[in-house]
């Protein structure tokens, strides 16, 4: 009996040593992978020189490439601690994006960007107002960004409620009522194919496109400075729509 127990103990010991070696191997492999990830990690932020050397079209190209990374679930690793410390010196973002507030549209991730890369302004329905246009003037004329993007998105609740004539006023949401009114002209300018309802996906998506395009036009009307910078070829003001299902940003 004793001998039997002894040999059982030996088997357990050998097996234990074997699995321990396996674990060590796994730990080693993970360490190598982590080291590889760390080597590819972005630790710096955009410099004034990098910002100055980019044209608006090159920036659009980089954003499209970043969006491809997002779609393929291959976001760049970033050392946020290092970037945060570096960013205290200053910022030289390449673009300003006006997005809806929707929680399903993570703007930096969508373009595979991080600290110091872009300005982001957000308001339900991505409409313009004076404060937002002022922020765009700052981002471009003062801080050197070369691109203004108005980015709508599919499944936009603000646009859907505007289409469905939701009566926010009767629910005492007077500010929301004013906001929905801002989206109405985009509905009026959209060709009525079928029912005017958010259930009509084709119509709703056309309104979403038109709303982003109209905001671009409104921005140009509101800001002689932005219009002038664009006419001089120093910046571009463009509309885009984020497709929630595919993750793709389609520039209009």
Q: Which x/- pattern, by CB under 5 A, does the window 60-79 give for Zn ion?
A: --------------------
**Which residues, other chains included, contact 236 with Cβ-Cβ below 8 Å and sequence gap of 6+?**
56, 57, 60, 146, 147, 148, 230
Asked whether position 102 contacts Zn ion by CB under 5 A, the answer is yes
Q: Which CB, 158 or 212, lies closer to Zn ion?
A: 158
Region of 102-110, 135-143, 175-183, 193-201 interacting with Zn ion (CB under 5 A): 102-110
CB nearest Zn ion: which residue? 100
Minimum gap (Å) between residue 122 Cβ and Zn ion: 10
Q: Which CB, 92 or 242, lies closer to Zn ion?
A: 242
Asked whether position 112 contacts Zn ion by CB under 5 A, the answer is no
Of 236, 166, 179, nearest in space to 211 by CA: 179
Q: Report d(CA 107, CA 175) in Å as an integer.
A: 25
Identified binder of Zn ion from the candidate list 156, 212, 238, 249, rule CB under 5 A: 156
Are 145 and 116 in contact, with CB atoms under 8 Å apart? no
Minimum gap (Å) between residue 28 Cβ and Zn ion: 47
Q: Which CB, 63 or 208, lies closer to Zn ion?
A: 208
Q: Report d(CA 140, CA 148) in Å as an integer.
A: 8
Torsion of CA 19, 21, 25, 28, to 10 degrees: 120
Cα→Cα distances 102→99, 113, 188, 232, Å: 8, 18, 23, 34
Q: Which CB, 46 or 124, lies closer to Zn ion?
A: 124
Region of 23-31, 156-164, 181-189, 196-204 interacting with Zn ion (CB under 5 A): 156-164
Exposed (0-12), middle (13-18) or buried (19+): which is 4, by Cβ within 10 Å? exposed
Asked whether position 163 contacts Zn ion by CB under 5 A, the answer is no
> With the C-alpha atoms ordered 215, 219, 222, 227, is the resulting torsion angle positive or negative?
negative
Identified binder of Zn ion from the candidate list 100, 148, 149, 150, rule CB under 5 A: 100
Q: Which residues bind Zn ion (CB under 5 A)?
A: 100, 102, 156, 158
């Amino acid at each position: 009996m004793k001998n039997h127990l002894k040999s059982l103990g030996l088997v357990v010991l050998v097996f234990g040593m074997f699995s321990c070696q396996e674990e060590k191997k796994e730990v080693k492999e993970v360490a190598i992978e982590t080291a590889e990830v760390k080597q590819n990690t972005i630790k710096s932020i955009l410099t004034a020189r990098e910002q100055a050397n980019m044209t608006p079209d090159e920036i659009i190209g980089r954003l499209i490439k970043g969006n491809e990374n997002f779609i393929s679930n291959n976001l760049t690793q970033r050392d946020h601690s290092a970037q945060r410390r570096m960013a205290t010196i200053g910022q030289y973002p390449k673009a300003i994006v006006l997005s809806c507030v929707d929680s399903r549209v993570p703007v930096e991730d969508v373009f595979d960007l991080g600290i110091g890369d872009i300005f982001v302004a957000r308001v339900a329905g991505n409409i313009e107002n004076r404060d937002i246009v002022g922020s765009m003037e700052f981002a471009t004329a003062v801080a050197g960004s070369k691109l203004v993007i108005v980015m709508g998105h599919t499944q936009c609740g603000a646009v859907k409620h505007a289409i469905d004539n939701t009566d926010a006023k009767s629910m005492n949401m007077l500010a929301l009522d004013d906001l929905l009114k801002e989206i109405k002209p985009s509905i009026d300018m959209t060709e009525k194919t079928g029912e005017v309802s958010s259930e009509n996906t084709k119509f709703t998506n056309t309104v979403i496109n038109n709303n982003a395009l109209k905001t671009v036009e409104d921005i140009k009307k509101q800001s002689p400075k932005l219009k002038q910078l664009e006419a001089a070829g120093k910046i571009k003001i463009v509309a885009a729509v984020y497709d929630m299902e595919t993750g793709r940003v389609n520039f209009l």
